[in-house]
Every structure is written in structure tokens, then in C-alpha cells.
Structure 1
Amino acid sequence: MAASEELEKETLQSPIAETGNRHDEEEKSPVNEPGPAEAEVEKDNNNDSDNGGAVLQPSGTRTSTVEYSVFSKNLKRYVVVTASWAGFFSPLSSQIYFPSLNTLAADLNVSISLINLTLTSYMIFQGIAPVFIGDFADKAGRRPAYLICFTIYIGANIGLALQNSYAALFVLRCLQSAGSSSTIALSSGVVADVSTVAERGSYMGFVTAGSLLGPSLGPVIGGLLAQYLGWRAIFWFLVILAAAWLVPFVIFFPETARKVVGNGSIPPPPWNMSLSSYLKTRKISEADRAAVESTIDPRSRKLSFPNPLPTLAIVLQKDTSLLLLSNAIMFAGFYDVAAAIPSIFRESYNLSDLQIGLCYLPFGVGSSLASIINGKFLDYNYRRIATQLGLPVVRNRQTDLKNFPIEKARLQIAFPLIFLSSCLVIAFGWCLNYVVHLAAPTTILFFLGLCLTGSFNTVSTLLIDLYPNAAATATASNNITRCLLGAGATAVIEPMLTSMGRGWCFTFIAFVMMSTTSMLVVIIRYGPKWREERRVRHEEGDVERGGRR
């Protein structure tokens, strides 16, 4: 019991103020006077305080006087786009060699069942590896974590291109997954480092799109390479693509981890510096530099062996457990649709592997649009609720979320997206059941990509809002839950299709997806209360540790 409490104190950083010390802010920062809207909400909350609801008191909400990030807008865009590109590698590597499975089985003289085990092992490592790398990245910084991941990834792909045995294929696929899978968690961490809660939705949209474009483009690229150059060309292509990402990263990508560089004004240790960091310095006043340095706990820079327990601690929290479960169910529905396409489209429409790969493109296009549209809606809804409560939204200044209903601001967007996604899955299943024209299911895939990506982006953004100081670790918790549930979903989809039929199978999946809205209602209702309880436990732990010192 004592160990779990200590773990929570260390890991579950206060999900309230993302920069600045609250006690220092009370002494140094001007307090916003409550407006009429705030007073009204506070009055209403007093009436709800006895019924288990979330007690919101916006009049106590403050905006930091220190810049949240000293990075320019263009530099922010660069780091987010680079992080999004990095997050593209994990799902791309998972899907890109699908068209060559039969050829691989023949060349290595093994059964398709054994080749399929490399898919299962890839997904398992896809869930496990970020648990370790996420914790390491939150402590040591993003750059060292990225360099470790891509070194492993490039080495594994070179080995895969040269190997001639099933054992080597199996082991190297695990290494390939371990190297690439953490990039999604790191991408979310980068967004949390450079963006305030008011602008985070737009940035998270790009990161989510990168991770969802892989399943759409992977089969197409893999089919083209395997058909014209052979299956080894797939892995050489991944080596070249990863190197094209890594070279500019080494030269230009700045360290963003807030435990290492604060808001970007604190010089990082040598191993965290990019080459360009030696050639230029950032401009910031000495007063702002001192203010930011005072927010960095020296203990946060102390490195330790990557610990998976912080990720598990996040999974077990009341609000995040419901949030992660709802997101994992939606992802499982996505995996079911994606996994069913090859066999059904081949059987019903007599398509080749390359043609089947092209059928994933509408989903990718929908995902790309969702990355732009949904992010704008998230930022708009945050500003709308902040305005209703009379709270200022200042560019590049972080707002203390202690008394702000961030759960409501984010999840309001998710309800229509989940409902539409569920309806589209039902329509998709019955189109396949009656083998209607191919244009119908592919059009549905476009809108499904639009809605599903929007719901994923909404949950991912809220998760980072709740754990801004451990964003990579929090995203790793999201990754492990959705990968494990997704692995189970892909394992049972074929038996379900056989026993239930296409129409009723996808109808059942859709109703399971729709059930996640009940979890989101609970989070909106009780999430602020649970979040405040977690903050109090954390602050009490700080006081207790300070007393022991």
C-alpha cells in the first residue's frame, strides 16, 4: 500500500497547472477577478456540492504570466509535423508487408499460420515497448528517446531485408515494433511540451492523423513494392524513409521535454542538444528565465531505469481507466473493420492485393481531414466554455485547470462522432452482407475515417490535458490498452463473421462502440471531482516528502 502511494506521488503529477509553481503564482501573478458568469457558475456549483457532482469554481482559475513556450509558431509547427511523421512509422510498418505474406511464407518455407504470428508478436510489442520508453522520455527528454527508437528501428529493418530464416524474421519483427511503436507516445509528449490547453486540439490532430495514415497507406506501398521489386524492397524502403526523418531530426529538432528545458529557455544537457543548438541561442529576458528555472524540480532531471509502473498507475485511475477503455473499444472497432477488409473484398469483389490496398485510401483521406477539422473544433469548444465562465484565453499562456471543466470541453465533441461512427459501421456491415457496389463501402470508409479519427483525437487530447507533465507515459497507457484490445478484436473477427454473418456482426460491434458514450457521461459528471482528489493527494505527498527532508 505504501509503495503504491509513493508511486502515485511520483508519477501522477498534478494535472492542473502545466507550468509554474502554484504557490509562487499566488504571490507573483495577478489574480483574475471573477466575472458575472463565473459568479453564477460558482453559485450553481454550491448547490451541486452535496450530490457527488464536480465542484467547479472558475473564480479561482489563473493564467500564468510566463510564456508557456519560447518556441516561435513556425518552430512549433516544425516539431509537431516532425513528431507526427515519426508516429507514422509504427502503423506503417505493421501494415506495409501484408501484401507479401504469401510470398514470405513460400520463400521461407513456412505456413501462413506461422507468418501470421509475426503480426501478433508485432502488436504485442507495440503495446509493451512504449510503457518503458514513455517513462524514459518524460525523464531524460524526447531527443534521446527518439534516437534510441530509430537506431533500433533502422537496424531491425536492415536485418529484415537481409534475413533468410523464419526465426530471424520473427525476432527482427519484434525489434522493429519495439523501435517504432514508442513514436506515437513521444509525439503526444512533444505536443504537450509546446502547446497550451487552448491550442492543443489542433496540434493533436496532426499527431493522430500520422498514426492513422499508416494503416491506409501501408498496404498500398507494400503492394507496389512487393509486386515490382520483391518483399525485401519493403524493408529497404523503411530504412531509407527512417533515415530521411532522422538526419534533419539530428540537425534541427530541439529538445522540448519540460522537465529538461522548461518552456524552452533553459539550455539542455549536451546529449539533448541538436547540432543547430550550438549555432544559435534563444532570446528571453533574464527575469523570465529565472521564473522558468524556478519551476524545474532538480529531481526531475535525475535519470533512472525506465519504469513501467507509472503507466500502469495511470491505467488504474478512476477517470483515465474509463477514458482508456472507451478509446480502446473504439479502436477495436476500427481494427475489426480494417482486418475484415482483405478477405471480404477478395471474396466478394475479386480484388487483387494491390486493389485491396487501394481500398484503404478513402479511410486515410478521411483521417487527414479529421486531423484538421476536429482539432479546430476542440480549440473552439475550449474557448467557448472559457468565455461562458468569464475566463481569459491568452495566447501562449497556460491556464490553471484546477476549476475548469476540461472533461466537458473535450468530450462534448466526442458524442456525435461516436454515434456517427457506430451508424457507419452498421451501414458498412450490411453493404458487405448484400454485396452492393464497391463504391458504397469505400465511401463509408471515408466518413468512418473522418469520425473515428475525430473521436481518437478528442480522447488523446484530454489524456494529455490530465497528465501534461507525463504526456508520453500517459499516451503509453493509451497505447497498451488499445493494442491489447485491438489484438483480441482482430483474433475474433473472422469467427464472428462466420457465425453471425457480416451484417449482424458489424451491427453488434457498432452497439458495443456506442456503449462507450455512457463512460464519457460518467467522466464528465465525476471527472473533475476525481481530478481534484488526485491533485490533493499529490500536494499532500509533496508536503510529506518536504517534511522528511
Structure 2
Amino acid sequence: MSSGVLHIVDSRTKQKYEIPIRRNVISAIDLKSIKAPAAGTDRADHVADGLRVHDPGLQNTTVIESAISYSDPERGVLLFHGYTLSQLWDSDFEDMLHLLVWGTYPTMQQKKDLNRKLTDQMLAVPDSVHRTIRGLPRTTSPLPLILAGLSAYLACFPDTIPASTHASLYQGNLRNVDHAVIRTVAAYGVIFGLVNSHRKGIDFQPPSQENSYCANLFIMAGLLDRHSSRPDSTKLSCFRRFAMLNADHGMALTVFSALVTASSLTDPISCLISAVAAAYGPLHFGATVSAQRTLREIGSTDKVPEFIEGVKNRRTKLFGYGHRSYKGLDPRVRPIQSILKDLDLSKNDYLKITERIEEIASADDYFRHRGLYPNADFYGNFVFTAIGFDPDIIPAAMLTQRIIGIMAHWREYMLTRGKLFRPSHIYTERYSAFSTRQKRLIILTAAIASTFSPMSANIYYPALNSIAADLDVTSSQINLTITTYMICQGLAPTLTGSFADQAGRRPAYILCFLIYIISNIVLALQHSYPALLVLRAIQSSGSSGTVALASAVAADVITSAERGTYMSITSLGNILAPSLGPILGGVLSDTEPALQPQLPKRMIHPLSALSLLFHLPTGLILLSNGLIFASYYAITAGLPSQLRSIYGLSDLNIGLSFIPMGAGTLLSATFNGIIVDWNYRRMVAKDRQDIEDFEVEKARLGVGGPVTVRPYTPLSAFVNPPATNPPPLALTLTLIFTISFTLTATYNILNILLVDLHYTTPATIMATNNLVRCFLGAAATALVHPCIQRWGVRATYCGVAIVVLSVVPLPLPADIPILYFRYPETSWIYPGDVVLKSRTADLPIISARGLNPELTYLLLFFDLDVIYGMNATVALHWYQPDMLCILQDTGLLDMSNNKRISDEIDGYSNGGILVNKSLGAEYIAPRPPPFSHHRYVYLLFTQKGDYQFPQCYSHIFPQTATARAGFDIQQFVDVARLGAPVAGNYFIVEYDGPVIEPTATASPTTTWLRSILCEGSDPTGSAAAKACEMEGNLQIAM
């Protein structure tokens, strides 16, 4: 039995698989269905991409299906298109070439025609090829001479190179392929003759129409009898018979290397160059040269036993012995020995050494148990040396015969749409260039660098009351320095973030710290409120970029599966510094002399519009993070005054009261990252998804949502105003610890999610995040004292608690539901699926799953990858209004194809399917150009009851490419007042039609969309018609 089913149980997942067996072969693609969760594995192993096959040297792998030749290792049989070797023994080169390349044994007339075509092409080899070879040293190896000759020949015919003309020059083009085969065989014969005669120092003699191909080869190579000046008939016969053995041998290295090159659809000369280079390796045809060298080193038959012992002890190598395909005697050896009997080898002492090696090795258990026997190369080199070839040109001489098989396989490959050879490999180095220790050191350094911005922002919180008194300003005015600091803290990273993503992290760090250090020096020397206000803004501009840079550095060195843990470490500086700053500030405040009072001056900085808040889902996450941050700062900014007014604490004690807040942030950052990573791995393992396709928002918000709710309780408790019986200080500090712990956890999770969603530009997104949070934090610090003065502590912090609670639903984006559909010949199509063009000709069946059956819908179907002239554009393929959900068989017919739909209430259509009750712009099937693919999109909109088709788009109804090209989706949606789509899907359509020569098309340089006049004019008028007019008569592939 050669066919059946292979049953596999994957021990990693306990999943069972059935892999079909056809002709004792399983498809490697079928093994890709065996997948395992990628969480916790080395990403370089591609676990989620499916099981791979590791086969070094392709020892048990088939790469093509071929009808050219077959060798039976067990029975020692060679077949060529069904003919045995004995049946072909008396055939000529032309017979074998016709049989292997064109699949039939030639008639006498076909043989003559083939010989004439070969000779004509040999005579047509340009003189520049002759000059190229003759211009090189005669003493060099034949390999570079042959490669130079082939390259020179190819240079004379650039129109035969597909890259210089068009991709389909050969693929599927029978006429071009057949002509190229004859030209290549003829060219190699001439080049071989030129090389051999050049190295011998004799004149090159051209071929003749009166001779066979082999006879012309001998004449051109200078292998002539000294008396008759003609090829020796015996030697010619031996060469011809050896060609029968050597014409093809399956996927031998010469053929396989040529096919690898051919898989790129290149010309046969380039493929032959690959084969020549491979043939000269000592493990292929070059083994004949190595064997001659080995025999020369042995010297005599007496030394053979010693040599055999050296082979067994692996001190030396025996070339020409053993074969990967044959565990017994190579079936070509005995015919080669029969050929040798017809040649004069009386003066060749090496043959006796060779026969002695076989005699001893065949009786030795070492060789017999390993299935090592002579192969064709072991005796083959004696055939060529007896004919008159030098040992180092034997590989090239063998290629004059093997070229039959090379061209046969090249032709077969070009006419059967073979695949590009692109195997994978096992990556053995670490996935990350950094070790775990290096990662931690880098992240810790970035975290320390990020402490300067929040520490500088909060370092004088304990001294706010003292500074206000020293400078003779109010608490609201001194808070304005915090507001100014935070405004610049939000603005500056938008520049440094983009700069870091473009120029690199190091230059950005240097710039930030240069500004920060200079501002600190000047700030230490100032003694006025205006100077404090301005210098704090400059100080903020320098230090604030380090926060975004820390996240960028983390994203550079860690993977998404590690992001929770390492981003928590990155956030340590940003979230711990606000607590350490007041402690340090309290210490300095008690030891620093008072500032000299100065008249206050106020500087006004206008706020910019935060347009990013309106971009979903990033805007919602940024807003959530900003509100969390603002709540945190509303507490820290109001805390010093409350601690002094309620408990009468000094500046130092107020600073020490921030220790619980620091402890909360530290513990939160430590344990929160571990929990986030654990939840990430748990959800990946549960859904068995690849990291690249994983819905990371669910994994992050699964922890972040519950954590965000928890600050509500301690915040609600943290609202007691100064009273006769204030709560114990320990309780207040406990509440501060809890608030800090929960708010920090939420803030950190949202930071991780932002980097997840924008991992290619982490510095830029964190800079934007900084902008939002700092603006909102600035607003909180500016408003907290006025709010306390007007409404009291209880009302103010109840408002803060409500803000925190309102954040919970904000980051949960509502995804557009998938619009499930299928074509009559496909299964249900998921986003990103690839479908063949031939299967999309009919109208699709569209599921109503997840849709409201009470509503009416409108469908748009369009192609995103249309090329129109020099421009890229969008083409509408289907406009269908008035679509209804049908939940059961109501007898309603699909008016566009008149088929009953009751049999479609299954699978994804168990919620019904969509049918149309009127006609729209008719469906145009996808039609990507040859050898290409396009992206296609379905969008479904809710059709309002008062919907009217915009008449300015009446040009879309003809079922033509020119009518549908240039479709502006956004403009149509706006004019038709459709709103956002309620469902959508996209897929890729590949061309699988007949092989044709594509029309050359210039690469698109701009995007073109049709200009439509939809207001105040008749769409049929001259202005609109002129705007819609397309120039030229160009072909549009859509």
C-alpha cells in the first residue's frame, strides 16, 4: 500500500491529526497544521506557525514530481521515460536528448532535424565567446574558463534574460523554452570544445552539419585520431554509451542546483552556470579528480591494504565509493566496466589499484555492513582518461552528457508552474542579542534616567508652603510652577520621541541631559519667582524626554511576552520618583536657608488641542492614562497642605509621609508586571494563538480593568475634611499606600498596552502619552487647591474617585464585527485569507451573524491595489443597497442570482444571511493581474430609512473598469451619510488563470481618486463630466 492516512498525536497539546499519504509521501505543508502555543517558547522556533521538517542535505525529501528518470536502488534498474538502459544502449546523443526533453523517442527525421538545429546553433555562437576564452590563461582550471564562456555567451543575448524582458519569458511559453534548450546544449558543446582545445594549445575546429553531436564535440575539443584526423570510432562509441548512463540521475546535485536557480524563473544558461559550479565540487563530478589524486598518492597495489585501514580509521577519504541512494552496487558500475573493456588501458596503472581497492573493500565487513560499494565515479574517470581527456576537465566532459537531464528538468519545471525554492532553517543563536542580565541592566539604567523628570517635578512639594512664603506668593501661584513644569513635560517629549525614533536613543539622551544639567545650574543661582517659573519649564523640557526614552529602550530589547515584567521595571523610576522627590525635598527644605521674597510675575502658556484623543482606540487609552495620572497628582499636590492643616506636620515629616506612596508604587511595579506577563501567557496558551495575531488588549485589560476599580474604595475614604476628630495618621498613610499601589498598577498596564499597540515607534507613542498625562496632571495640580477652597476636601476627592471609576470602560474599544462570507467554491472566509481568482467569479453568500434583523444594510466591495496609468487607486466592485437579514426560508429569492437561500442556514449563517431586495451597481469579480494578487475589502453599513443614493456617483453603475476606478470611499460615505461601518472583512485574491505575457506597467508614483462634484451642480453636467473624465485608454487590472 502506497497511500493511506498517517495518524499523529502531538504530546505538547494532546491534539490528534490525520495527514494523508499519497504514493508513500506526505506533504510538508500538511505538517504545518500541527501547531502548539508559542507562549514561553523561543520565537525563533516558530512554534505557532506549525511543525517544520528538518532534513539536512534533503536525504529523505522529495521536491518535485517528474516523469524523466527513475533509479530502483533495490533492483538496480534505471528507467528513462519508461525505457530501460538496455533498450537505449545503442542510442545516440540526439535520441537521448529528444527522449528526456520532449518525452518521446525520436523518429529518424526528428533525429536529423534535432541534429541540424543543434549544429546551426553551434555555428551561431558569437566570436566574442571565442575571444573571451582564448584571452584567459591556458594553465588555469577548466571551471573558470567554462563559467567565463557561458557568461560571455549570455551577455551577447540579453533579451534571453527574463529580468531584462518580462517574467513570463519562459514559464508556460513552450516555443521559447524549446528554442532555449537547443541553444543552451549547443552553446555548452562549443564552449567545452573551446576550453579543451585552448588548454591543449591547438586550433579550434568548427562543427559540421555532416557530423553527429558527439562527433562535433570531439572535433571541437581536438580529440582526433592522429592518422585520420577524425574522431576514433571506438572512443566515440564509448563516449556515446557512457552518455546513456550519465544523461540523468534524478535529483543529483547538478540537476538540483540548476532547478533551485530555475525556480526564480531565470534563463537556462544561468541555471547551467549553477550546475557547472556544483559539478566541480569534490563530492560530485569533482570526485573523479579527487579520486585520480588519491590513486596517485597510493602509488601501487601493495599499498592498498594500508590505504584501506586509513579509510576505516578516518585518516583519509575514499572518493567514488558509496552512494546515498544505493545500499548495494551502483547499477551503472557494471556497464561502465564493460565500456572499459573496449578501451586501451594497458598503460594505466591506476586501474589496477582501483580494482584492488574494490577487491579488498568488498570483502571487508566495515564496508559491507555500511552498504558501501563502488559508484559510477569510481570507474567512470578511466573512461574519460582513456578517451583522451585530462583528469581536471573530466567534470566538464561529464556535463556535456548530464546537460541532457539538466535541460529536461528545466523544461519540465518551466511548463509545470514549479514553486520558488525557499526552505527555512533552524536558528540556533539567542532570539535576542541581549542576555537576561544585560536586559535588566539596560532597563534599570533607563529607569534610573527616567527618575529625573518626576523627581524634579515633586522634589519641592514639602517646601511649597515655605517657598510661597519666602517668595510672597499664594499657594495657587506656586502651584503654577508645577503646572508650567508639567505642560513642558508633556510638550517636550513629542519632539524628543520622534527624534529618538529617527536618530537613535543615544543622541536623544545626550540632548535631554545637556538641557537638564544647564537648567539645573542656572536654577540654583536664581532668586525670583519669574526666573523659577521659566527655568522650571526649561528643566522640564530637558528631563521629560527620558520617560519616553525609557519605554523606547525597553521596547528595543524585550519581546511582547516579557513586556509586562520589564516595562514594570522601566516604570519604577517614573512612579517611584514622585514619592522619593518629596522626601529629598523635605530634607533639603529643613537645611536650606529661606529664599528672598520677590514680587510675583505670572507667565501664561496656552494649551494645544489634544487631537489624539479622537483617534480610536489609542485616544481612549491615552485619555484613560491621563485621567489616572491626573488623579494621582491631584492627591500628591493636595497632600502637603492637608497633612499640615490636619496633623500639623513639619516639612520634613510631610516628606517622610510620602514613603508609603513610594512603597506602594514599588510593590505595584514589582508584582503587577509578573501578573500581567502571567495573564498574557495564560491567554496565549488557552487560545493557542501566535503572539503576532494575539489580541493583546484583552490580555492587558483583563488585569487592568479590575485593578482600576480598586482605587475607588480608598479614594472614597480619603475625603475627611479637617475636623475635631481626624482619622489616625496611620490610617491616612495606609490609604495613601493603597491608592498609590492601585493607581500605579493601572497606569503601568496602560503604558504596556500603548507600547504593545505601537511597538515600532515606542518613543513617539510614549511622548504622546506624556503630553496627555502631563496636561491633565497639570490641570489637576492647578485645580486641586481652588477646588478644596471652594467645595472642600470631601467633595474634591469624591470627584477624583468618580474620575478614576469612569476610566474603567474607556480603554475597551468596540471592534468592528467580522462580516462572514463565502463563495460557492470556498469555505467561510476570515480576515486575511487568500482565495484563488477562479473561485470568486460568482456572488458570495454573506452571513447575517451578529447583525440586527430589523435593520436594512448597504454593502460596498472594493479593490485597494488597482494600478491606473502611473497611479495607484481604488476600484469599486459592488455597490448593493437594501440588504435584509433572512433568518429562515421565507421563499425570498436573491434577485441578483435567483437562487433559493434556505440551504445556506448553517455554519456562520445560522443567524441568517443577507439578501438584496433591489439592484445596485452590479458585482464585478476580482481579477488581479497575472502572477500577482490584490487586497479586497467588504464593508457593511446601516442604511437609514431616509437614505438616498447620491446622484453625483451615478457613473458607478456601468459594469466597467473605467466606471469603477478612482472610487473615493471616504467621500462616498460622507456624501451618502452612512456613518461608520457595522461589519467588515478583507481578503487577498491570487491570480490562477492561464499563463500569459503581462503588459508592462509602470510602478505607481501617486494615489489617484476620481474628483466628484456633489454639491450645487448637475452630476451629468459638463463640470462633473469633466471632473470624472479619464485620460487615455489604459488597461485597468482590478
DSSP 3-state at the match of 2:527 = coil
Q: CA deviation at 1:168?
A: 3.1
Are the structure 2 counterparts of residues 103 and 326 from structure 1 closer, same or farther at C-alpha, using a change threshold of 3 Å?
closer
| Structure 1: 5+ residue stretches without partners | 1-28, 39-57, 233-308, 393-398, 534-538
Q: Using a 3 Å threshold, how does the CA distance of structure 1 residues 31 and 357 change in structure 2: closer, same or farther?
A: farther
Q: Which of 388, 406, 415 is the aligned partner of 2:686?
A: 388
Tell me if 1:338 matches 2:636. yes
Written as runs of structure 1 = structure 2, the 5 A alignment for 1:265-344 is 315-344=613-642
2:521 matches 1:158? yes
Deviation at 1:499, TM superposition (A): 3.9
Question: 1:165 offset after TM fit, Å?
Answer: 3.7
1:359 aligns with: 657
Q: How far apart are residue 230 of structure 1 and its match?
A: 4.2
Matched position secondary structure for 2:735: helix
Deviation per CA, 1:475-497: give whole Å up to 9, x if none. Answer: 11111111111111222222333
In the other structure, the counterpart of 1:416 is: 706
Q: Does 1:198 align with 2:487?
A: no
The question of 1:405 aligning with 2:703 is answered no
The whole-number CA distance in structure 2 between the counterparts of 1:105 and 1:70 is: 52
Cα displacement (A) at 1:500? 3.5
* Aligned residue in 2 for 1:474: 765
What's the CA shift string for 1:74-129, capped at 9, x where partnerless? 11111100111111111100111234445555666666665443222111101100
Q: Relative to 1, partners in 2 of residues 1:423 and 1:94: Cα closer, same or farther, differing over 3 Å?
A: same
Looking at structure 2, the residues matched to 61 and 334 of structure 1 have their Cα atoms a distance apart, in angstroms, of 46
SS of equivalent residue, structure 2 residue 761: helix
The one of 781, 793, 815 equivalent to 1:526 is 815
Residues 182 and 476 in structure 1, CA contact (< 8 A), matched pair in contact too: yes
Whether the 8 Å contact between 1:431 and 1:440 is mirrored in structure 2 is no
AA of the residue aligned to 1:360:
F
Contact 1:68 1:194 in 2 (8 A): no
Aligned to 1:501: 792
Aligned to 1:127: 490
Aligned partner of 1:548 in structure 2 is 1005
Contact 2:476 2:786 in 1 (8 A): no
Aligned residues of 1:431 and 1:441 also touching (Cα < 8 A): no
From the CA coordinates, give the structure whose radius of gyration is larger: 2
Distance 1:540 1:424 in 2: 55
Q: Is the 8 A contact 1:363 1:449 kept in 2?
A: yes
Q: Which has the higher strand share?
A: 2
User: Offset of 1:374 from its aligned partner?
Assistant: 0.6
* Distance change in 2, residues 1:405/1:171 (3 Å): same
Change in Cα spacing, 1:37 to 1:465, as seen in structure 2 (3 Å) is closer
Distance 1:499 1:159, change over 3 A: closer
1:220 maps to what in 2? 583
Secondary structure class of the residue paired with 1:386: helix
CA 1:385–1:30: 2 relative to 1, 3 Å: farther
Q: Is the Cα–Cα contact under 8 Å of residues 484 and 778 in structure 2 kept in the other structure?
A: no
- Equivalent AA in structure 1 for residue 773 of structure 2: R
TM-score of the pair, normalised by structure 1: 0.67
Spell out, residue by residue over 1:392-418, the C-alpha distance to the aligned partner (whole angstroms, 9 max, x if none): 6xxxxxx42xx3110000011012211
Q: Which moved more, 1:490-499 or 1:348-357?
A: 490-499
In the alignment, is residue 515 of structure 1 matched against residue 806 of structure 2?
yes
* Matching residue within 548, 554, 563 for 1:185: 548
1:33 aligns with 2:33: yes
More helix by share: 1
Q: Aligned in 2, Cα 1:196/1:333: closer, same or farther, shift over 3 Å?
A: same
CA displacement at 1:69 relative to structure 2: 2.6
Which of 722, 747, 752 is equivalent to 1:456?
A: 747
Counterpart amino acid of 2:501? Answer: D
One-letter code aligned to 2:733 = T
TM-score (structure 2 length as normaliser): 0.37
Distance in 2 between the 1:527 and 1:364 partners?
41
Residue 340 (structure 2) aligns with: none
Distance 1:61 1:391, change over 3 A: farther
Letter in 2 for 1:489: A
Cα distance in structure 2, aligned partners of 1:120 and 1:30: 62
The answer to whether structure 1 residue 211 and structure 2 residue 668 are counterparts is no
| 2:461 aligned partner | 98
Distance 1:513 1:156 in 2: 35
Say if 1:101 and 1:452 are closer, same or farther in 2 by CA, change over 3 A.
closer
Which letter maps to 1:421? P
Indicate whether 1:349 and 2:647 are aligned. yes
CA contact 1:34–1:390 (8 Å) conserved in 2: no
Equivalent residue, structure 2, for 1:485: 776
Q: Deviation of residue 501 (structure 1)? A: 3.2
SS at match of 2:434: coil
Distance 1:431 1:123, change over 3 A: same
Counterpart Cα distance in 2 of 1:99 and 1:61: 59
| C-alpha spacing 1:170/1:380, structure 2 compared with 1 (3 Å) | same
Q: Deviations over 1:404-460 (max 9, x none)?
A: 110000011012211111111111224877621111110111122211111111000
**2:535 aligned with 1:172, yes or no?**
yes
Aligned AA for 2:815?
Y
Structure 1 counterpart SS, 2:710: helix
Deviations 1:463-522 (A, max 9, x none): 0010011101101111111111111122222233344433333223212211111113x3
- AA aligned to 1:547 is P
Supply the distance in 2 between the matched residues of 1:141 and 1:357 (Cα, whole angstroms): 38
- Give, in whole Å, the separation in 2 of the partners of 1:230 and 1:30: 79
Change (3 A) 1:116 1:420: closer
SS at match of 1:351: coil
State the alpha-carbon separation in 1 of the partners of residues 30 and 522 from structure 2. 59
How far apart in 1 are the matches of 2:471 and 2:37?
69
> Residues 28-84 of structure 1, C-alpha deviation per residue, up to 9 Å, x if partnerless?
x9996365999xxxxxxxxxxxxxxxxxxx987999977653011111111100111
Q: In the superposition, relative to structure 1, how do residues 191 and 230 fare at CA in structure 2: closer, same or farther (>3 Å)?
A: farther
Give the whole-Å Cα distance in 1 for the aligned partners of 2:672 and 2:34: 31
Distance 1:143-1:355 versus aligned 2 partners, 3 A rule: same
The whole-number CA distance in structure 1 between the counterparts of 2:817 and 2:451 is 33
In the alignment, what sits opposite 1:428?
Answer: 718
C-alpha distance in 2 between matches for 1:527 and 1:61: 29
Question: Cα gap change, 1:544/1:79 in structure 2, threshold over 3 Å: closer, same or farther?
Answer: farther
- One-letter code aligned to 2:490: G
Contact 2:479 2:782 (8 Å CA) reproduced: no
Question: Cα 1:31–1:85, aligned 2, differ >3 Å: closer, same or farther?
Answer: farther
For 1:344 and 1:178, the matched residues in 2 are separated by 30
RMSD: 3.5
Deviations 1:241-288 (A, max 9, x none): xxxxxxxxxxxxxxxxxxxxxxxxxxxxxxxxxxxxxxxxxxxxxxxx
Distance 1:203 1:528 in 2: 34
Which residue in the other structure is 2:503 paired with? 140
Q: Does the 8 Å CA contact 1:332/1:485 hold for their aligned counterparts?
A: yes
